Amino acid sequence: MRLASFALAVAIVAAPHVALAQDSVKADEQILIKQIQTDRRAVYAQNLGLTDDESKAFWPIYDEYETAAKKVTDARLELLDQYAAKYDALTDADAKDMLATRTKLDTEAFTLRQKYAKKVQQAIPSVKALRYVQLQDRIDNVIAGNLYTLIPIAR
């Protein structure tokens, strides 16, 4: 599995990205997202072992999920931009709003993952669907781990 090299790539790409988040550089954010999506797709392709018929069933569901998940990702990036902009003068009211938004986005992301895990399980064998979810968890945890170590804790 090439998850370790994927993790390293995410860490390298994410490091300068988060430093630039204070400047709200949307173009860099979109480049980062596109690279992660490309790398993620390659990890799935390499590790799922899909037949041609399974691929025809899986990839449209995957693409649909990525499109839906992008809305949540964009909202998370916007929240990160807000946090970076207010970091030095963060108020309790700001923090309360950010926490509510974060909780809402976490719920949306979880709901999407459940919905599409079921769709994937209907489209391909359950063992491969489980492998997909496991890979998704590992990739998301690597990304989160690398990203959140770069974001300073609220003062």
- Evaluate whether 114 touches 15 at the Cβ level (below 8 Å): no
Q: How far apart are CA 89 and CA 50, in angstroms?
A: 51
Is 9 a residue whose pLDDT tops 70?
A: no
Distances (CA, A) of 49 to 46, 69, 141: 7, 24, 22
Domain extent listing, the chain = 3-148
pLDDT score recorded for residue 71? 93
On average, the pLDDT of the chain sits at 82
Is 139 a residue whose pLDDT tops 70?
A: yes
pLDDT tens digits along 20-76? 444 544 566 666 666 777 788 899 999 999 999 999 999 999 999 999 999 998 899
Per DSSP, the residues of 43-85 read HHHHHH---HHHHHHHHHHHHHHHHHHHHHHHHHHHHHHHHHH
pLDDT score recorded for residue 147? 74
pLDDT score recorded for residue 54? 97
Of the candidates 141, 119, 121, the one whose C-alpha atom is nearest the C-alpha of residue 129 is 121
pLDDT score recorded for residue 26? 57
pLDDT score recorded for residue 146? 75
